[in-house]
């Protein structure tokens, strides 16, 4: 096997804040007896306060003679890096506070995909995502928020795949839209170091910006510069978060579709040159099948 083909099979770890962190135990606030309410008031406060999370949970019970035993099982995905915490509570209905037993298990983020695996996912989903967005140009998707365009595109492709009997694409988990293939947190260098070109950002990939400030230089007149912020009207300040879907690449320029730009809620065309970002953050995501990072309550 040649060195090049070996790299094709090797997972790529993109460096971003908390990329490899495994979560620790969560304060379950058992003294409040939230779990014994009907229905159970999940999630407890310590989880509810965290913005970057999604969760699923189930509640079952069994009866033996005069005893009723309840079991609550939950899975919480911490969406900043897709790590997971699983929680299991068991208690006797006669005295939940004294009999409750709590267990927690923690799982690291899913294993990054190799270039070959990312290419397989790209062929499976990316063009379908881009075409769905292109068919909405000039219209408002959902509530008009920038994130909704990417989320609803993924949701539509997932539904289509499910109808075909194929693996559905993973839906947006807060501001994570799949497998991270590129990250740049100024003033650090981008990951991978070669920038967007080395990352292979392509059609159907999803960009997630945070307070991203760009300075553009006229190649014909280097003294001529102007500024912009992701998602903001030209000449105005930026917004904390913005989402865009890549539909084409012209050299170092990424052509995107986005909505809620400068307050305009309809889908429109835009461009970004990521190496012109001087402040803020950006991550690029490749849409992948949901089996890469399932969210299940199984213990």
Per-residue pLDDT tens digits of the chain, which is 299 residues long: 444 455 566 776 787 777 888 999 999 999 999 999 988 999 999 999 999 999 999 999 999 888 999 999 999 999 999 999 999 999 999 999 999 999 999 999 999 999 999 999 999 999 999 999 999 999 999 999 999 999 999 999 999 999 999 999 999 999 999 999 999 999 998 999 888 888 999 999 999 999 898 887 777 777 676 678 787 766 555 567 999 999 999 988 999 999 999 889 999 999 999 999 999 999 999 999 999 999 999 99
Q: Look at residue 68 and give its three-state secondary structure.
A: strand
Residues 185-197 have pLDDT tens digits of 999 989 998 888 8
Q: How far apart are alpha carbons 210 and 231 in whole angstroms? A: 10
162's tokens: 């499910």
pLDDT at 2: 45
Q: How far apart are alpha carbons 59 and 35 in whole angstroms? A: 9
176's tokens: 């994570």
The ranges assigned to domains in the chain are 30-107, 115-292
Q: CA 219 → CA 66, 119, 253, distances in Å?
A: 81, 33, 13
pLDDT at 9: 60
Residues 6+ apart with CB under 8 A from 12: 112, 113, 114, 115, 118, 181, 192
The answer to whether 281 and 148 are in contact (CB under 8 A) is: no
Tell me the residue length of the chain. Answer: 299
73's tokens: 């099982």
The answer to whether 18 and 79 are in contact (CB under 8 A) is: no
Q: Is the peptide bond before 132 cis (omega within 30 degrees of 0)?
A: no
Question: Locate tokens 């497998």: which residue?
Answer: 179
H or E stretch including 150? helix 146-163
Q: How far apart are alpha carbons 250 and 49 in whole angstroms? A: 42
Q: How far apart are alpha carbons 86 and 104 in whole angstroms? A: 6
Q: How far apart are alpha carbons 188 and 227 in whole angstroms? A: 20
Whether domain 115-292 has CATH 3.40.50: the reply is: no
Q: How far apart are alpha carbons 151 and 53 in whole angstroms? A: 15
67's tokens: 């005893």
pLDDT at 194: 84
Residue 113 DSSP symbol: P
The answer to whether 125 and 287 are in contact (CB under 8 A) is: yes
DSSP 18-54: TTTPPP------GGG-GGGSSS--PSPHHHHT-SSEE
């Amino acid at each position: 096997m040649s060195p090049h083909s070996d790299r094709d099979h090797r997972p790529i770890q993109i460096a971003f804040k908390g990329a490899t962190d495994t979560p620790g135990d969560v304060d379950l606030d058992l003294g409040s007896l939230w779990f014994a309410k009907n229905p159970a008031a999940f999630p407890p406060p310590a989880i509810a306060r965290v913005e970057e999370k999604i969760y699923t949970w189930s509640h079952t019970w069994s009866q033996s003679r005069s005893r009723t035993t309840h079991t609550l099982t939950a899975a919480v995905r911490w969406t900043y890096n897709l790590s997971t915490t699983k929680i299991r509570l068991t208690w006797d209905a006669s005295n939940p506070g004294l009999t409750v037993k709590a267990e927690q298990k923690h799982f690291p983020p899913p294993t990054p995909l190799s270039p070959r695996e990312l290419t397989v996912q790209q062929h499976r989903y990316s063009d379908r995502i881009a075409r769905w967005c292109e068919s909405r140009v000039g219209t408002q998707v959902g509530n008009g928020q920038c994130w909704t365009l990417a989320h609803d595109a993924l949701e539509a492709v997932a539904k289509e795949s499910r109808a075909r009997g194929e693996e559905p694409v993973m839906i947006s988990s807060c501001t994570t839209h799949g497998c991270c293939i590129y990250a740049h947190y100024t003033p650090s260098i981008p990951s991978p170091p070669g920038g967007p070109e080395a990352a292979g950002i392509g059609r159907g990939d999803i960009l997630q910006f945070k307070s991203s400030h760009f300075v553009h230089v006229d190649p014909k007149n280097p003294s001529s510069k102007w500024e912009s912020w992701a998602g903001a009207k030209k000449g105005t300040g930026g917004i904390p978060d913005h989402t865009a879907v890549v539909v084409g690449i012209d050299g170092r320029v990424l052509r995107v579709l986005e909505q809620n730009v400068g307050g305009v809620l309809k889908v429109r065309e835009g461009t970004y040159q990521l190496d012109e970002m001087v402040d803020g953050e950006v991550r690029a995501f490749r849409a992948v099948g949901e089996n890469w990072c399932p969210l299940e309550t199984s213990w």
